[in-house]
């Protein structure tokens, strides 16, 4: 599988999002997904302390076992695990990292990410303690998630000379969620920060298995969403666009899933497209997109098919 870089890290162009582990998937099914991902050439695994009520990290750690050194392991902190465990204050960052290392069964996190901005803590304080974690050998690179351009610029100014600084930002991006093109992707191109898109399949809508006039199957991501969010994703405009995109994919002998992932990967700042999976079959379907390189004309044609 093709690789790209996040700071000093070499990652597969298609990654595995582990947000289903410990929630929709039990440990056995999670392990099956992990092993299938490694077998398809996926080397970038992205989880977070809040996923599955902290069980995702535990499941990932146990599933990797002796294969730990074959992957680039990313996790996140900052969103509320409970009332006491949340935010980005220095003392909590130290605790959160040690907790994640214990759950993951490893001595370092390759990419440690602030899951969301913490308005109660100066970003300089958070960066200082993250630099401490890097110098201690517990973290290799640091990143952030759900940051605006203004917040990225604030963090860049706050980072001390020679200290660790954010090498990546992880925000939502897909054929049906194009907002980053207007700002964050431009900033990433300007500064060299890697962009890591999450929800590249728009919470499963870009698999083509949902209809606007029916209820989503029980157990699917959409079924667990608030009704207004579900209606937005399955709007008449989105469903019509999906039909057009499916036609484009079929003309190229590909699936809609492959198109959705390959299109995101075609944007220069994108490092690894992290897609979740609930089965080995879904992992293999996601990984199949890695070798589809869309040219500029094809990207423009696909752009014209979306809302």
The beta strands (E) that lie in 47-138 are given as 72-77, 109-114
Q: In what order do the strands lie in the sheet with 14-17?
A: 194-198, 166-172, 139-145, 109-114, 72-77, 44-46, 14-17, 273-276
Is the pLDDT score of 130 beyond 90?
A: yes
What integer best gives the mean pLDDT of the chain?
A: 94
Please name the fold of domain 3-207+257-294.
TIM Barrel (3.20.20)
Per-residue pLDDT for 64 more than 90?
yes
Per-residue confidence (pLDDT) for residue 218, from 0 to 100: 57
DSSP 202: G
> Quick check: helix, strand or coil at residue 7?
coil
**pLDDT single digits (tens) 257-266:** 999 999 999 9
**Global confidence as pTM:** 0.93
- pLDDT per residue as tens digits for the range 202-252: 988 999 876 555 555 555 666 566 667 766 777 888 888 999 999 999 999
pLDDT number for residue 87 = 98
Contact (Cβ atoms closer than 8 angstroms) between residue 179 and residue 185 = no
> Quick one: pLDDT at residue 217?
57
Q: Give the pLDDT of residue 212.
A: 52
Residue 235's pLDDT is: 81
Cβ contact 175:202 at 8 Å: yes
Residue 238: the pLDDT is 84
Q: What confidence score (pLDDT) does residue 237 get?
A: 82
Residue 5 clears pLDDT 70, i.e. is over it: yes
Cα angle value 169/232/215 (rounded, 5°):
120
Question: 207, exposed or middle or buried, with CB in 10 Å at 0-12, 13-18, 19+?
Answer: middle
pLDDT tens by residue, 20-60: 999 999 999 999 999 999 999 999 999 999 999 999 999 99
Confidence (pLDDT) at 168: 98
Region 6-19 average pLDDT: 98
Mean pLDDT of 149-168: 97
Predicted confidence at residue 233, as pLDDT, reads 75
Positions marked active-site:
51
């Amino acid at each position: 599988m093709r690789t790209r870089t996040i700071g000093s890290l070499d990652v597969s162009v298609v990654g595995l999002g582990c947000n289903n582990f410990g929630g929709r998937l039990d440990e056995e099914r999670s392990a099956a997904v992990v092993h299938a991902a490694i077998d398809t050439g996926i080397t970038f695994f992205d989880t977070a302390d809040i996923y599955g009520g902290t069980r995702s990290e535990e499941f990932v750690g146990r599933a990797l076992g002796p294969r730990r050194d074959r992957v680039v392991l990313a996790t996140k902190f900052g969103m509320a695990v409970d009332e006491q465990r949340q935010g980005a204050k220095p003392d909590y960052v130290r605790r959160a990292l040690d907790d994640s290392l214990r759950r993951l069964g490893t001595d370092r996190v390759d990419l440690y990410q602030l899951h969301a901005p913490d308005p109660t803590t100066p970003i300089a304080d958070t960066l200082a303690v993250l630099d401490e974690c890097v110098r201690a050998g517990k973290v290799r690179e640091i990143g952030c998630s759900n940051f605006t351009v203004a917040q990225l610029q604030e963090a860049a100014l706050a980072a001390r000379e020679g200290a660790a600084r954010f090498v990546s930002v992880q925000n939502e991006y897909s054929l049906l969620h194009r907002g980053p093109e207007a700002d964050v992707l431009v900033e990433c191109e300007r500064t060299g920060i890697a962009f890591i898109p999450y929800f590249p399949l728009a919470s499963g809508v870009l698999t083509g298995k949902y209809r606007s006039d029916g209820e989503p199957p029980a157990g699917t991501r959409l079924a667990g969403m608030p009704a207004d969010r579900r209606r937005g994703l399955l709007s008449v405009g989105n469903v019509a666009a999906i039909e057009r995109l499916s036609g484009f994919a079929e003309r190229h002998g590909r699936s809609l899933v492959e198109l959705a992932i390959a299109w995101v990967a075609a944007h220069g700042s994108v490092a690894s497209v992290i897609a979740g999976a609930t089965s080995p079959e879904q992992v293999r379907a996601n990984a199949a997109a890695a070798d589809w390189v869309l040219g500029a004309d094809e990207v423009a044609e696909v752009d014209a098919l979306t809302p």
